[in-house]
């Protein structure tokens, strides 16, 4: 886990550097310091709230309920085993009544983590497959993926907020007006939100591959995770969830996209192709005897 965690720290630093550069550049384009400061403060406040309460937002979007060890001893046993193997604290556990098979982890660090599985996933996966899925979700927490998502969201939020400020800037440019011209307005309104979205999607896709590999190593069962992904993908396509605003903001946390993606929407999917993920896991299983599947 150390290598990916280190890489994620570098990515976070790079994103913060990029954020600073974009703020300076966009501030120069719109020509006003007051509006810039207000936009930055509002966006940072909103994203700070999202960061510290991201777990509650995600859990609420799936109507998840906390589950005790007496209610689900088998789930606690799986998570405790994997957490102990990773030398990390035990996360809080939740079950969502959703029929779609899916799972996600949330929380800004291992000490504030929560793992949620849907009722649907517990019905279609074997215990061995579910254990591998939990390994994937715990890896997201251990790799500090939530931290990266928060920084990326802050970056996207600030770009978008600044693009909205252009509406309050005169469209023409004169000698006495430091506001942007029509081209600057169009660039901010169109390219700003698109750039922010692409940054977030690029991070989301790479981290899924890393969580698959690290989850397979943690569970020592990449074939079980590959098998689980096949079932989850089929179930998610058969039972897509309604794209509510809360769910859309939390969809990137799921092990599989819970929303229906078709046509152009596939280009903006927060998850890499499932076939590619499965292929990588199968290759990982072949590459080392230590990852051979063990019947459980």
Residues catalogued as catalytic = 137
In the block, tokens 């901010």 appear at: 188
The strands making up 103-106's β-sheet, listed across from edge to edge, are 65-66, 92-96, 114-118, 103-106
| 29/181 Cα distance (integer angstroms) | 9
| Sign for the pseudo-dihedral over CA of 54, 58, 60, 61 | positive
Q: Report the run of H or E that residue 161 belongs to, with start and end.
A: helix 145-165
Give the Å distances, CA to CA, from 63 to 58, 96, 206.
9, 6, 28
> Which of 138, 144, 121, 152 is closest to 235 using CA atoms?
121
* 3-state DSSP of 81-117: HHHHHCCCCCCEEEEECCCCCCEEEECCCHHHCEEEE
| 197/153 Cα distance (integer angstroms) | 9
| 184/261 Cα distance (integer angstroms) | 32
Tokens of 144: 């500090």
Residue 130 buriedness (CB in 10 A; 0-12 / 13-18 / 19+): buried
């Amino acid at each position: 886990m150390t290598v990916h965690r280190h890489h994620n720290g570098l990515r976070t630093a790079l994103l913060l550097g990029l954020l600073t550069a974009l703020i300076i550049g966009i501030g120069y384009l719109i020509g006003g310091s007051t509006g810039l400061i207000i936009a930055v403060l509002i966006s940072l406040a909103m994203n700070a709230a999202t960061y510290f309460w991201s777990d509650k937002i995600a859990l609420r979007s799936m109507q998840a309920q906390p589950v005790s060890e007496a209610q689900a001893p088998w789930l606690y046993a799986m998570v405790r085993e994997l957490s102990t193997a990773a030398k990390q604290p035990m996360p809080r556990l939740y079950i969502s009544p959703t029929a779609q098979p899916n799972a996600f982890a949330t929380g800004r660090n291992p000490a504030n983590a929560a793992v949620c599985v849907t009722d649907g996933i517990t019905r279609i996966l074997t215990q061995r497959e579910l254990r591998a899925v939990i390994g994937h979700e715990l890896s997201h927490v251990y790799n500090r993926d939530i931290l990266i998502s928060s920084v990326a969201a802050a970056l996207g939020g600030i770009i978008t907020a600044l693009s909205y400020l252009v509406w309050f800037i005169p469209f023409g440019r004169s000698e006495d007006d430091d506001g942007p011209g029509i081209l600057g307005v169009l660039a901010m309104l169109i390219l700003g939100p698109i750039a922010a979205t692409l940054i977030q999607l690029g991070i989301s896709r790479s981290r899924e591959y890393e969580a698959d590999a690290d989850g397979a190593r943690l569970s020592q069962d990449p074939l079980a995770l590959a098998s689980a992904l096949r079932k989850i993908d089929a179930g998610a396509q058969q039972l897509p969830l309604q794209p509510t605003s809360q769910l859309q903001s939390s969809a990137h946390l799921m092990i599989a996209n819970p929303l229906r993606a078709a046509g152009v929407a596939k280009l903006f999917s927060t998850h890499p192709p499932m076939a590619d993920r499965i292929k990588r896991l199968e290759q990982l299983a072949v590459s080392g005897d230590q990852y051979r599947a063990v019947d459980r």
